[in-house]
């Protein structure tokens, strides 16, 4: 046993403290290095997002909640809703809702394009996997009209009528007329299924098929595209039959009266 | 006047008669008296007459011109599709109306011309015809009856009883044969092959020889076979599917027919996660996770009940407003339909595609007499 170096109790205590401090710092650094990054990327707060947040807090908060978690009986959660959904609801004027009713309706838009984009960016920063806007814009979203007509009749015409006139559903709900819808609105509607409309995901109707459908809808808006003469409201047999009966039968009766009259 | 009166007129007398007199005689023989039979234009070639003729001719000229125009429109008018707004679109949309207009004007011109000619140029005629008393004279009745009896006796048919019966029976049997041919095809037993996919009890989903029946999309192209996988549908989506068998792949006619079968249309739903769904008793395992498949044929009168509200889970039939709750086994909740939409048992096969686990457990579409409630 060698001679022990004697150290004063004060220095020993000091050394203990220093060691403890070092260990704590090391552990903290290690923990900081080894703890995995949060999987949900917290998007960089940009100026656009701050503007979106302001709009959200002013107009959406009451029904959708401060953390977009939704408010029972007022509005659904918007976490993971995605920018496409925001674009459809806000750019058609459906949101902000005027009052709670069977379904939101199209009305004059509250916000400018920039404000809508800001709101989209803000909502999109909550939760992942939301529906995205299409790459193209406007006319570039129009595909093959003929194929689109086929797909429209198979997938959409049941509720929206064969030329997009719209129609009644249950309990005050309705499939709206497609006349005022622009290309992006039709695209995002199919993608997100607003209100009671079913969702048509990209694996069910590919983006190309969606563009075909958009081309068809745009071609029949406002009762245009009438290769058979006057569309009579584009409602089909009801208006056409009524006109055939009233006009046709009156004409026939008048002709018969003329033929039978004595010269 | 009777038959005898005609013979009283000799050939000489007839020779001496003018056409006008012969017409009068003919009508008189038919007991018709011409009270008034005046010329429209007693003096031919007046200004008025010429004007009337021009008027009538005008209609026929119109018909002729329209007929030429109809040919011209049909051959030369552009009709190929152009989207609205493209140059030439307006002209093209007028193709059908122009064909209709020229066609209609042609017919109208011919018809009005013919009627107008009759009104302006045929004589003004007022005729009275005597009505005859109803039955034949007693002499006629007796003589005709006697002639029939005479025929029976003289031909010997009255006497030759056996021959008469044999002949009558043969003719009767031939008549019976005609009747069998007419009615026979109508006599069918639709329930004889109750297990065939073509009977009212079964649908195109019924497995044949144990072959897998896939769920297939209608893409608008009947030759294209697109099967459905769970990831193809987003939550809140739905799609209409039809049965597909691998043995049909190279058979265009069967591929087409499968999409057109009235009882095969099925709606495949993917409900949102967390939706409270109740199944009807005995059908608890028909669904695959959030995926449910129901017949698209309304149980009221067979319309496609396809107006789907993905939030309320209501399915509306557009014909008579029947509503079904697809969150509760598609039971009817409003309107004239009384039976739930049948549910198709589905699962996902080894290759990842949806397959039917069998036919519906109940009858698809509107009810019929033999269907017990």
Q: Do B95 and A259 touch (CB under 8 A)?
A: no
* B201 is a domain residue: no
Question: Which residues, at least 6 apart from B306, have a Cβ–Cβ distance to it below 8 Å?
Answer: A158, B240, B267, B296, B315, B318
Asked, for residue B9, whether it belongs to a domain, the answer is yes
Share of chain A above pLDDT 90, in %: 45
Q: At which residue do the structure tokens 């008296």 appear?
A: B33
pLDDT in tens, B141-186: 999 999 999 998 999 888 899 999 999 999 999 999 999 999 999 9
The alpha-helical segments, DSSP class H, found in chain B are 3-8, 11-16, 19-29, 47-76, 89-93, 95-121, 138-154, 161-183, 252-260
B122 and B168 belong to one structural domain: no
Q: B242 pLDDT band (50/70/90 cuts)?
A: very high
Q: Nearest CB to B237: which of A150, A171, A200? A: A200
Instruction: Quickly count: other Cβ atoms within 10 Å of residue A191's Cβ.
Output: 25
B120 and B239 inside one domain: no
pLDDT exceeds cutoff 80 at B372: no
Q: Is the pLDDT of residue A37 over 80?
A: no
Distance CA B84, CA B90 (A): 8
pLDDT value of residue B321: 94
Q: What pLDDT score was predicted for residue B4?
A: 60
Percent of chain B, pLDDT > 70? 98
B219 CB neighbours in chain A (<8 A) are 151, 154
**CA quadruple B237, B239, B245, B248: dihedral sign:** negative
Q: What is the pLDDT of residue A4?
A: 55
Residues B123 and B148 in one domain: no
**Which CATH number does the domain housing residue B252 bear?**
2.102.10.10
**Rounded Cα distance, B190 and A24, in Å:** 88
Please check whether residues B154 and B248 belong to one and the same domain: no
| Nearest-CA distance B70 → chain A (Å) | 16
Look at residue B373 and tell me if it is in a domain.
Answer: no
Q: Is the four-CA dihedral B321, B327, B332, B334 of positive or negative sign?
A: negative
Q: Which domains does chain A have, with CATH numbers?
A: 47-124 (1.10.760.10), 138-226 (1.10.760.10)
CB atoms under 10 Å from CB of B372, counted, come to 6
In chain A, % of residues over pLDDT 70 = 93
Print the domain residue range for B22: 3-30
Q: Which residues contact A152 (CB under 8 A, 6 or more apart)?
A: A160, A162, A164, A213, A216, A217
User: Model confidence over A184-222: pLDDT tens digits?
Assistant: 999 999 999 998 999 999 999 999 999 999 999 999 998
Whether A101 has a pLDDT exceeding 60, the answer reads yes
Query: Are B168 and B298 contained in the same domain?
Result: no
A21-33 average pLDDT score: 86
Among A156, A193, A231, the strongest candidate for a mutation testing the B interface, having the largest count of B CBs within 10 A, is A193
Length of chain A in terms of residues written: 263
The answer to whether residue B196 is domain-embedded is: no
Choosing among A80, A139, A201, A218, which should be mutated to test the B contact, i.e. which has the most B CBs within 10 A?
A201
Contact A196, A103 (CB under 8 A): yes
How confident is the prediction for chain B on average, in pLDDT? Answer: 91
d(CA A43, CA A18): 40
pLDDT in tens, B25-50: 888 888 888 888 888 888 888 999 99
Pair A221, A177: CB distance under 8 Å: no
- pLDDT surpasses 60 at B13: yes
Residue A110's pLDDT is what? 87
Q: Tell me the residues of B at the A interface, defined by beta carbons under 8 Å apart.
A: 79, 81, 83-85, 92-93, 95-97, 100, 115, 119-120, 124, 218-220, 229, 231-240, 304, 306-312, 314, 316, 318, 323, 334
Task: Please tell me whether residues B178 and B153 are part of one structural domain.
Answer: yes
Residue B134 lies in a domain: no
Q: Which of A99-108, B117-126, B189-198, B360-369 has the lowest mean pLDDT?
A: B189-198
State the ipTM, two decimals. 0.76
Are residues B7 and B96 located together in one domain of the fold? no
Instruction: Return the higher-pLDDT residue of B340 and A263.
Output: B340
| % of chain B with per-residue pLDDT over 90 | 68
Q: What is the pLDDT of residue A100?
A: 83
Q: What is the pLDDT of residues B61-105, one digit of tens each?
A: 999 999 999 999 999 999 998 888 889 988 999 999 999 999 999
Angle (CA) B337-A159-B359 rounded to 5° is 50
Q: Which residue of A has its CA nearest to B220?
A: A150
- Indicate the SS3 state at residue B56: helix
Residue B194 lies in a domain: no
For the segment A66-73, the average pLDDT, to the nearest whole number, is 88
Domain count, chain B: 4
Whether residues B119 and B147 share a domain: the answer is no
- Report the alpha-carbon distance of residue B346 to residue B287 in Å, rounded: 6
Report the alpha-carbon distance of residue B302 to residue B234 in Å, rounded: 28
Which residues in chain B touch residue A201, judged by CB atoms under 8 angstroms apart? 232-234, 237
Name chain B contacts of A200, Cβ cutoff 8 Å: 234, 237
Does B261 reside within a domain?
Answer: yes
pLDDT of residue B1: 45
Residues B342 and B248 in one domain: yes
Give pLDDT, residue B289: 92
Among the residue ranges A1-10, A106-115, B285-294, the one predicted with the least confidence is A1-10
């Amino acid at each position: 046993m060698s001679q022990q170096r004697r150290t004063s109790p004060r220095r020993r205590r000091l050394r203990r403290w220093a060691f403890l401090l070092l260990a704590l710092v090391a552990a903290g650094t290690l923990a900081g290095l080894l703890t995995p990054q949060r999987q949900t990327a917290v998007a960089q707060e940009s100026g656009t997002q701050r503007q979106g947040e302001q709009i959200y807090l002013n107009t959406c908060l009451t029904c959708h909640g401060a953390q977009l978690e939704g408010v029972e009986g007022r509005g659904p959660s918007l976490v993971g809703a995605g920018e496409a959904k925001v674009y459809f609801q806000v750019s058609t004027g459906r949101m902000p809702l005027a009052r709670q009713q069977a379904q939101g309706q199209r009305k004059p838009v509250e916000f400018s394009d920039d404000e809508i984009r800001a709101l989209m960016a803000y909502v999109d920063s909550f939760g992942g996997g939301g529906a995205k806007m299409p790459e193209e814009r406007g006319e570039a979203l129009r595909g093959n009209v003929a194929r689109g007509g086929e797909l429209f009749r198979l997938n959409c015409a049941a509720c929206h009528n064969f030329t997009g006139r719209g129609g009644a559903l249950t309990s005050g709900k309705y499939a709206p007329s497609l006349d005022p819808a622009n290309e992006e609105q039709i695209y995002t509607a199919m993608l997100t299924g607003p209100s009671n409309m079913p969702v048509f995901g990209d694996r069910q109707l590919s983006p190309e098929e969606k563009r075909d459908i958009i081309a068809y809808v745009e071609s029949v808006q406002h009762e245009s595209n009438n290769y058979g003469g006057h569309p009579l409201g584009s409602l089909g047999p009801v208006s056409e039959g009524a006109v055939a009966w009233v006009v046709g039968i009156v004409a026939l009766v008048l002709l018969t009266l003329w033929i039978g009259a004595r010269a | 006047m009777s038959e005898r009166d005609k013979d009283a007129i000799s050939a000489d007398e007839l020779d001496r008669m003018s056409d006008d007199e012969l017409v009068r005689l003919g009508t008189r023989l038919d007991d018709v008296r011409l009270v008034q039979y005046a010329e429209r234009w007693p003096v031919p070639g007046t200004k008025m007459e010429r004007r009337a003729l021009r008027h009538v001719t005008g209609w026929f000229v119109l018909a002729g011109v329209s007929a030429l125009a109809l040919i011209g429109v049909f051959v030369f008018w552009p009709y190929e599709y152009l989207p609205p707004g493209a140059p030439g679109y307006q002209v093209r949309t007028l193709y059908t109306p122009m064909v209709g207009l020229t066609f209609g004007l042609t017919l109208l011109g011919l018809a009005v011309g013919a009627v107008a000619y009759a009104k302006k140029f045929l004589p003004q005629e007022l005729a009275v015809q005597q009505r005859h008393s109803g039955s034949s004279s007693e002499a006629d009745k007796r003589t005709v009856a006697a002639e029939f009896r005479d025929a029976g006796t003289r031909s010997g048919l009255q006497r030759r009883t056996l021959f008469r019966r044999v002949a009558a029976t043969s003719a009767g049997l031939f008549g019976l044969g005609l009747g069998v041919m007419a009615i026979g095809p109508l006599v069918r037993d639709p329930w004889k092959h109750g297990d065939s996919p073509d009977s009212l009890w079964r649908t195109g989903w019924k497995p044949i020889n144990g072959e897998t029946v896939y769920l297939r999309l209608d893409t608008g192209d009947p030759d294209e076979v697109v099967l459905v996988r769970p990831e193809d549908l987003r939550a809140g989506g739905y799609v209409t599917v039809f049965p597909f068998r691998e043995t049909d792949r190279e058979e265009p006619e069967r591929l087409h027919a499968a999409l057109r079968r009235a009882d095969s249309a099925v709606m495949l739903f993917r409900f949102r996660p967390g939706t409270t769904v109740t199944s009807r008793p005995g059908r608890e395992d028909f669904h695959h996770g959030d995926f449910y498949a129901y017949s698209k044929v309304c149980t009221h009168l067979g319309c496609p009940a396809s107006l789907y509200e993905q939030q309320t889970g209501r399915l509306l039939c557009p014909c008579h407003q029947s509503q079904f709750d697809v969150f509760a086994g598609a039971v009817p909740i409003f309107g004239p339909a009384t039976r739930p939409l049948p549910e198709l048992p589905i699962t996902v096969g080894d290759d990842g595609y949806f397959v039917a686990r069998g036919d519906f457990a109940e009858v698809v579409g509107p009810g019929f007499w033999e269907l017990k409630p």
